[in-house]
Each structure stands twice: as structure tokens, then as C-alpha cells.
Structure 1
Amino acid sequence: MTAPLAALRAQLDTLTTEAFRPELADIDRRSTLDIARTMNAEDATVPAAVEAQLPRIAAAIDAIAARMARGGRLIYAGAGTAGRMGVLDASECPPTFNTDPSRVIGLIAGGPSAMVEAVEGAEDSAELAAGDLAARGLTAEDTVVGISASGRTPYAVGAVAFARGRGALTVGLSCNAGSALAAAAEHGIEVVVGPELLTGSTRLKAGTAQKLVLNLISTITMIRLGKTYGNLMVDLRASNEKLRARSHRIVALATGAPDEEIEAALTATGGEVKPAILVLLGGVDGPAAAELLTAAQGHLRTALDRTR
């Protein structure tokens, strides 16, 4: 065994996410129902681990939202499952919140092909992460969230280190305490979910924890940026029939207006939900609604207040 490999093995032996659980050594001999119950019980522990980090998560979100309000971007960076979680969260922001695809970005070590197949050695390169961020013109107004279950993945740690050197806001999300990733970031979030059912398979509890935290980060950031009205997705992009029906329903829930008025308002605003609500509740026309929302930086409540 080479010295670097021996050192890595020794490091993995210290990680909670890599720990062996002897009480599960017979799991392949158990019934399917028993395995399912065991996995389900394991998954049920994840929300409590996330809850323990909520103050840190909230502080990171407030900092992210402030940067994004000034035009900055939210960039996730990770390898393997962690990278896929970031790409997934980023890809869901445009249809959910009508964000420009360039505002929330998911970077995965090895590029897009790594979403479906392993790219050998990509996660071990901090330089690759720096190159990926440099290619996207990283600025001090941006935020980089490094994601790594182990908290030691060079790609994620390298992304955070490079971003911090450029003056960007940095967040490190890992599932081990005392991680290098959290230490490298301005905001360290360590959701310790414990050893996995299958030793080292961090697509399980660790992956679930990452998904929950990223849901919090993107959703609450978008709420802070005025992408919602109450708990309604008023910046929804109606790109298909289902979403067009949802757009109508959202306007109805927000205004209580009859169907004919809702359809007229959506027509007047090019199908956009937020200005349609402003047309109905504020008594303005489509162009005026657009101007009011621009002046209010997209915050519907602020725009409505200016019509009264």
C-alpha cells in the first residue's frame, strides 16, 4: 500500500460516516421487511441532526440572501452524491422560483457526465474546483456552498478555499464533526447523522441530510428575495399545462377573484403570476404592475403597499 493510500485509509477510519456497525453485519440475511424497517428507522433520525444545525443554517441563509439581493449567485460544489444533490437543487430553482439558470448553479466534480457515471479522480482535485469556479467568473458577491459527506473531499474543500480567496461568501456542508470543509468555510454546517446502514454508503443518511439542508437554503433564500407571497410560489414559471393550471390556482388562492378575472389578469401580464396578483389586488394594469414590482425589487407585499 502506497503512503498516500495508507494515509487516506487512516483518515477514513476516523470518520463517523465511514464507521462499521457490527450489529448490522447480518443484514443480508434478514427479511426484506426487516431491512426496510431498519432503513426507515435510520432515516427518521436525520431531521433531528439537521435541527441541531438550524441556527448555523439560518445564519448562512441570511448571508446568502443578502449577497443574492445585490446580484450575486449561489453556487453549489461537490463530488459524487453530494455534487448531484447540488445540481438537483440548482436545477429546480428556475421552474419553482422563475430564477435565471445562471443565478443558482450546481457544479459536480468531473462535469455533467458525472451525474450518471463516475469520473475517475475528479473528486480528488482541488485545482479542478478552482478551475470550474474561475471559468464562471466568480466574484465577491457570489456564494459557494461546498458539499461533502466526509467533509474532506478535495474538490469541495478546494472550491471553498478558492472562493474565500476571491472574497466570496463560503458555506461548508458536511456530515462529520470537526471537518476540514467546515474549517475552510465562513459558515460551517456539520449535520452528523452517524454511520450508514451500509458502511460508507453516504448516499443514504448523509445524502438525505444534504437534500434537507439544500431545501432549506434555496427555499428560504428565495422567500427572503420575495419569490413567494405567503406560502404561494408567485414567481412560478408556467412552462407546461400543469404549471399553467397551478398558476391560475395560485392567483385564485391569493386573490379570491373569479375565474374570468384571473384569466384576464394572467393574459394582461403574459401569464406571470406575481404581476397578475398585483393587477387584481392593487387595481393597476399590467404595465403598472411590472413597474411597481421592479421598484419593489420583486417583493409583492412591498408593491401592494405602494398601491394603497
Structure 2
Amino acid sequence: MAEKLDETQRKPVIPAYVKALSGSLGGIVEASCLQPIDVIKTRLQLDRTASYKGILHCGTTTVKNEGVRALWKGLTPFATHLTLKYALRMGSNAVFQSALKDANTGKISDGGRFVSGFGAGVIEALVIVTPFEVVKIRLQQQKGLSHELLKYKGPIHCAGLIIREEGLLGLWAGAAPTVMRNGTNQAVMFTAKNTFDGLLWRKHEGDGKVLQPWQSMISGFLAGTAGPVCTGPFDVVKTRLMAQSRSGKYYKGMFHAISTIYAEEGVLALWKGLLPRLMRIPPGQAIMWGVADQLIGFYEKKYIHNIPFQA
């Protein structure tokens, strides 16, 4: 009898597939809005000769030399990457949280939420992020718009050429810093998003309260600010490792890249592209959560709180 009572007192569970779908829809909207900032970030991180004097100079130079369409280079792999990444991130995080919840109350500790986020970040880094970002970065670093002169003609051609020239593992160049970056990012992001929802709006998962899009966007924006600062060096190293081909390798691995960049360019070079990351990631999280929370909230209201439930 006691076991049945515990079951009725558990917090409601939102299925992982609902969270995965909400994340994928948010990713589509985010990619469409923020691709130019990602192109600029990549160009700045690959700039070893200080050709660009900042974000605006990089953007205007790219448009002047290559046309405005160049700011959307790599959009197809970027949009596909974000859609799949958010689906996997949100879904796997939900699975991890479900496994780490208290068996009686259905609640999860802050430590459990942090570990769930890190686990989701590691999975998305290995399964989705690394190969898609390798293709995206190879496309973004190409100068010019003349299709005939470009080495990589598109995302599929790029992936195939990398496999032929560098082997299948070429698509996982920079996997180690990507795992560290994404794991840390998601651990911080999921923990912070839940904290800000509770502090600012008194919203807790499963309570049936649907945040207004602007409320979700504020929480998502704030949650998305800490990760880029903490993981800047991993992101720079990831980009450098992904950009180099096997025939032109300069960095031997994550630690060699960090020490080499520090020795040759100074410590601040490890945070190159931080400002465009802060211009992209927090707004991106705001857009994604603004979309995702609406779908999750709809599910909560329709399929959880329309049936008898003892909170």
C-alpha cells in the first residue's frame, strides 16, 4: 500500500520524446536567425595573422569580398546539426534525469541535474556535434563564392572528401575538446535554466505552469552566458583541430594545441571569438527555450493536468 502511495505522490514525468521534439523545433528557428554570427566566430578563431580587427570588420570584410550570402555559408549542416543536436541533448538529458531522480519523490538534486547535463553534452558531442562541425568549419573557412574554385562543393561533398582523404575518423577531428566543451556547457546550462525558472518565475517542471515566451527567453539567455566563458579555450582548440586536414596538420592534439596557441599568440588567443560566441549562444538559447518551453508547457497542460493527478 505504501508503495502505491509513493507512486501517486511522484512528480509528473514529461516523456523524453516530447523534450527531444521541442529541442529540435527550437534548433531550426535558432539556426535560421544566428548563422551569420557563427560564420564570423569561425573566421575569427581561424585568423592566425590578425587579418580581422574585430566582429564588425570581419563581417563587413566577408560581405565586401564574398557577398552577403557568405554569412550563411554552412547553413545546411549548421541547421541540421542544431536540429539533431537539440533533439539528442534534450532527450538524453531527460533520460539521465529520470535515472537519477529520487525513486519516491521523483525529484532530482542539483548534482544530479549537473551530471545529467554533462552526460547529455558528451553524447551530443560524440554522436552529432563533432562530425557536423568538422564539415561546417571546413565550408566556412573557404574564401570566395565561385563554386568551381572551392575545394568543398557542399556538405555532402565535403564529408565524402574528408573520408576519402583522411579516413572516417577525419570527421571526428577535435573530438576531445568538443566533449569537454559540450559536457561543461550543458551541465551548466540545464542547471542554470532550472534555477532561473524557479527564482524568476516560480516555475518548476511538471507544475502545469506555462511560461510566456519572453520569460523562457530571459531564463535561456541568462543560462547560456556562463558556458562560453568557461569553455572558451576548448572551443578555440576544437575549431583549430577541425579546420586542419591530415596533410597540413599543425596541432597534434588538444593539449599540444593549447600550449602552442598560448606560446605563439598569448593567453587571450585561447578566448578568440568569445564575443561572437556570447552574441550567438545566449540569444540562441533564448530562441531555443522560447520555442521548446511552449511545446513542453502544452504537453504538461493537456496530457498531465487534464488527468487526475495528486501533486
User: Greater helix percent: which structure?
Assistant: 2
TM-score, shorter chain, exceeding 0.5: no
TM-score by length of 2: 0.29
User: Greater strand percent: which structure?
Assistant: 1
